[in-house]
Amino acid sequence: MMQRTAIAVIGAGYGDEGKGLMTDYHAAGGPDAIVVRFNGGAQAGHTVVTPDGLRHVFSHFGSGTLAGAATFLSRHFVCHPALFAKEADALAAAGVALPPLFIDERAPLSTLYDILLNQLAERRRGNARHGSCGMGFGETVERNLDPEFALTAADLQEGAGWLLHRLAAIRDRYVPRRLAALGIAAPDTEAAARLASDSLLQAYVHAAMRLRRATRLARPTLLAGRTQVVFEGAQGLLLDQQRGAFPWVTRSHTGIRNALEVAAEAGIGALDVVYVTRAYLTRHGAGPLAHELPGKPYAGIEDRTNVPNEFQGTLRFAHLDLDLLVRTVRTDFADALLYPGIGARLQLAVSCLDQVGPALSYVEDGTLKSAAPAALAAHLAQRLGAGTVYTAWGPTRATVRPAHPAGA
C-alpha cells in the first residue's frame, strides 16, 4: 500500500498553541488514522473538544483518540504508568472506547522517584526556578542514561518481580546519588515518607503491569500500512533543549527532528509540517517572554486547561512577535535537510482567532501593529511561504478552515 503524506503538528511557541486541536482535526481525516507521540511525556496537556462538546486534556493518549485514531508512543516519549492509568480511567468514565495503543519497546518509563526528585529540585531553586511542570520528565531522561537504573517499556515484559527489584535499586542506590548531585542534603519529611513508602511502590508496579496489558510493543514500521499518520508534538519550539533559552527549556527536541527520525524508520516519504501558534503568545512557567503584558491582551481569552499551579504559576501573555516566530520556524524546518529522503512541506495553523475580536495586535520589525485576524494569518503564512494555512475560530475541529495562499 502506498504511504500517504504524513502530518507533523509542531508548536511554534512555548507550548499551549493548539496542537491538540490540530491533531484531532487531521486524525479525523482517515478511518485508520494513528497519532504518533514523538517527544515529551506526561507533562503535555493537549485539549480536544469534539463538535458535540466532549472535552478531554490529553497527556499520554494521542489527541486523535476522540476521533477514533490509534496511538503510537515512540521511543522519544516518556511514559508514566500511574498517570497513564489515571488518564485511561478518565476516558473510560467519559464513555470513550479506547482505540489500539502501541508503544515502542525502547520508550523510557518515568517512576515515582523521578517526580519526587524533580519537585525537590524545583522547590530548592526558589526564585530561580526553571519552569518545570514537576512531572519528572527531565529526571527520567537523566536516570535512563545509566543502564543500571534505566527502565523502558520492554522491561515490563520481565514481570512484577523484576520491576520491584529495579525500583528498589533506583530508590536505594540511584536516588541518594542524584540528591547529592542536585545539592540536596536530605529530603523534607513529606518527601522522605514518599520515598520510603512501600505502598506507593506497589501501586506503581500495579499501574505498570496495567500499562503492559493495555499496550502492544511495536516499532515505527507499524506506520507503513496506515493511510493517515499524524505526528503530535509536545511543548513548543521556544522550549527546545538546544535552541531555547537555557535553563528554561525542556530536555527534548520539540521540533521536527524526532518526527523525521521516526518517519524515516517507518519508511514514510513525505511530511507536511504544520507549525501552530495562537493569535497571541503565551508562556506557562518561568523564563523570558518578550513583550510580556500584565494580563490577558483580549477580553475574549478563555483557557480552562492552563490553571495556576505550584510549579508553573499562572499563564503569561504577550503580543505575537512575527519576526521571532518566522526565525524560529525556519530554523526548525531546516532540519528537514538532514533527511533528504523525506519531502517536507511547511504549513501554518493559527488558533484562538475567535478570542481576539475584530483586530489583533502583533509585533513586527520592532513595531506594534494591528490587523484583522484573517489578514494577520494570511500575512504570516506569506512570510513563511506556507503552502497551507489553517485558521481556527473555536475549540473544535469544526471551526478549522484550511486555505492555500496565492503563490504558495
Q: Given the DSSP bridges, would you call strands 46-49 and 55-58 parallel, antiparallel or unpaired?
A: antiparallel
Residue 321 lies in a domain: yes
- Kindly state the cell numbers that stand for 33: 488514522
Same domain, 199 and 278: no
For 80-105, the pLDDT digits (tens) are: 999 999 999 999 999 999 999 999 99
- Which of 216, 242, 263 terminates a domain? The answer is 216
Question: C-alpha distances in angstroms, 105 versus 73, 212, 220, 251, 339?
Answer: 9, 11, 11, 20, 24
268 and 366 co-located in one domain: yes
C-alpha triplet 321, 327, 333: angle, nearest 5°: 130
Tell whether omega for the bond before 81 is within 30 degrees of 0, i.e. cis. no
* Longest distance between any two alpha carbons in the chain, whole Å: 64
Domain boundary among 216, 233, 253: 216
pLDDT bracket for residue 281 (50, 70, 90) = very high
385: Cβ–Cβ under 8 A, 6 or more apart, which residues? 346, 408
pLDDT 10s digits, 168-177: 999 999 999 9
Q: Report the range of poorest mean pLDDT among 6-15, 37-46, 325-334.
A: 37-46
pTM for this entry: 0.94
Name the residue with higher pLDDT: 389 or 286. Answer: 389
Considering the domain architecture, whether residues 378 and 262 belong to the same structural domain is answered as yes
Please state, in angstroms and as integers, the Cα–Cα distance from residue 301 to each residue in 55, 372, 384, following that order: 18, 16, 26
| DSSP 8-state secondary structure symbol assigned to residue 77 | P
| CATH at 84 | 3.40.440.10
| Bridge partners (DSSP) listed for residue 274 | 9, 347
3-state SS, residue 28: coil
Judge if 186 and 296 occupy the same domain. Answer: no
DSSP lists the bridge partners of residue 367 as 364
Q: How many residues does the chain have?
A: 408
Q: What angle do CA 39, 64, 309 make, to 5 degrees?
A: 60
Contact 264, 38 (CB under 8 A): no
Q: In this structure, are 394 and 307 located in the same domain? A: yes
- Same domain membership, residue 292 and residue 192: no
Q: Are residues 260 and 373 in the same domain?
A: yes
Strands (E) across 142-220 are located at: 216-218
All 3 cell numbers of residue 304?
A: 480552562
Residues facing 232 on adjacent strands: 9, 37
Residue 251 domain-assigned (yes or no):
yes
Judge if 126 and 140 occupy the same domain: yes
| Residue at a domain's end among 216, 239, 266 | 216
What integer pLDDT is reported at residue 2 of this predicted model? 44
For residues 258 and 387, state if they share a domain: yes
Local confidence band at 45 (pLDDT 50, 70, 90 cut-offs): confident
Question: Would 189 be classed as within a structural domain?
Answer: yes
Q: Is 228 a member of any domain? A: yes
Mean pLDDT, the chain, whole residue set: 92
Q: Are 40 and 77 in contact (CB under 8 A)?
A: yes
- pLDDT tens-digit readout, 109-143: 999 999 999 888 877 766 665 555 667 888 999 99
Q: Are strands 216-218 and 229-236 parallel, antiparallel or unpaired?
A: unpaired
Q: What is the pLDDT of residue 174?
A: 96
Q: Tally the domains of the chain.
A: 2
Query: Do the Cβ atoms of 220 and 265 come closer than 8 Å?
Result: yes
Q: Does 224 share its domain with 312?
A: yes
In a domain, 124, yes or no: yes
130-169: b or e for each residue (b if 16 or more CB lie within 10 Å)?
bbbbbbbbbbbbbbbeeeebebbbebbeeeeeebbebbee
Please say if the pLDDT value at position 308 is more than 70: no
Rounded Cα distance between 71 and 293, Å, is 38
**How would residue 195 be classed by pLDDT, with cut points 50, 70 and 90?**
confident
**Residue 363 within any structural domain of the chain:** yes
249 and 310 in a single domain? The answer is yes
Q: What is residue 152's three-state secondary structure?
A: strand
The owner of cell 527502565 is 151
Q: What are phi and psi of 372, to 5 degrees?
A: -65, 150
Torsion (CA) 38, 41, 44, 50 in degrees, nearest 10: 60
- Please indicate, yes or no, whether residues 31 and 120 belong to a single structural domain of this protein: no
Between CA 235 and CA 41 the distance in angstroms is 10
Task: Determine, yes or no, domain membership for 1.
Answer: no
Domain that holds residue 376: 6-104+217-403
User: Helix, strand, coil % (nearest 5) of the chain?
Assistant: 40, 25, 40
| Residue 408 maps to a domain | no
